[in-house]
Amino acid sequence: MVDLVPVEEVRAAARRLEGVAVRTPLLPVPAFRPVNLLVKPESLQPTGAFKLRGAYNAIAALGERARATGVVTHSSGNHGFAVAYAAAMLGVRAAIVVPENAPEVKIAAIERAGAELVRVEPTMDARLEGANRIEQARGYVQVPPFEDPLVIAGQGTIGLEIAEDLAAIGTEPAAVLVPISGGGLISGIAVAVKAACPGTRVIGVEPELAADARESLRSGARVRWPASDAARTRADALRVEQVGELTFAHIRELVSDIVTVTEDEITGAIGRLARDARLVAEPGGAVAVAAGLNRTDDELKIRKDGPAPLVAIVSGGNIDPSLLAFALSYNR
């Protein structure tokens, strides 16, 4: 049995993150109607993605141990930037292992933050091997991208904010749509949301070209997709080949369903967010909005025309400018 992260740890993370992470708003987008959809733009974080919450919480909780040695992580980009940024804030050395196909916009951000950059082959095994090698050689503390209670607790602060902000206006969400890759974000959000709003559905969203999490949930066991298959999606932040053991325990216990979206729907959502909500989203960051706009009431098992809102997490906005330009001109 795997112990789930308790909501008390999420509340402790919220206290650590005060003054560090932005409390992102819940934004109505009138042009999205008749969908009763609220958007939570984690793209507005200082690092451009939600990953700052988990990375800072983990490094801050490590305290003197991290400061004395340093930290290492592996990442497709956003978590690496978050670790580099948080480590710089806390005066900690950091090494970031990234796949060779990571977007240059994310690579440049990691280097600007002052971290050491290590490139490896674009597979999870290569990333893990690179991080383990640095840990063993230098004694650096690992800050995993998703398979870690402190990282999960940090991401869960998003769920706390959703529940608190909607309670303040006398309602709660019908469902929260969450991008899913390794599972840290949805695990943390599900812990917080289910504690405050037991009747709310927490629904994961991933590209149909990288749908290992949906297959895992439906089969009842973790399924690994080949890296070459997951690499087909332009949602680079969601190319993890398999959810973690700890995160899968949370998903099985707390997540209502996982749905997929197409590459066309992802690209269309990026354009809609930019034009209608004035928000920049990367492909992985736009999948939840894509599901909110394109999946039917029956598919989500909710009433989108009811009084309770549907909340979609925009998890990141670190997008290559040429891809954003393409999405803005995309009409399908």
- Are 191 and 7 a contacting pair, CB within 8 Å? yes
* Residues pairing with 72 in the sheet: 95, 142
End-to-end CA distance of the chain: 46
Which entry of 51, 106, 194, 304 is annotated as an active-site residue? 51
Tell me the sheet residues that pair with 311: 38, 176
Helix (H, G, I), strand (E, B) or coil at 191: helix
The CA distance from 105 to 323, in Å, is 11
Known active-site residue 194:
no
| 51 assigned to active site | yes
What value, to the nearest 5°, has the Cα angle with vertex 177 and ends 305 and 332? Answer: 80
Q: How many CA atoms lie within 13 A of 10 on its CB side?
A: 26
Per annotation, catalytic residue among 43, 76, 216, 315: 315
Q: Which tokens belong to 198?
A: 């037991």
Closest CA to 128 of 238, 16, 244: 244
Which residues are part of the catalytic machinery?
51, 315
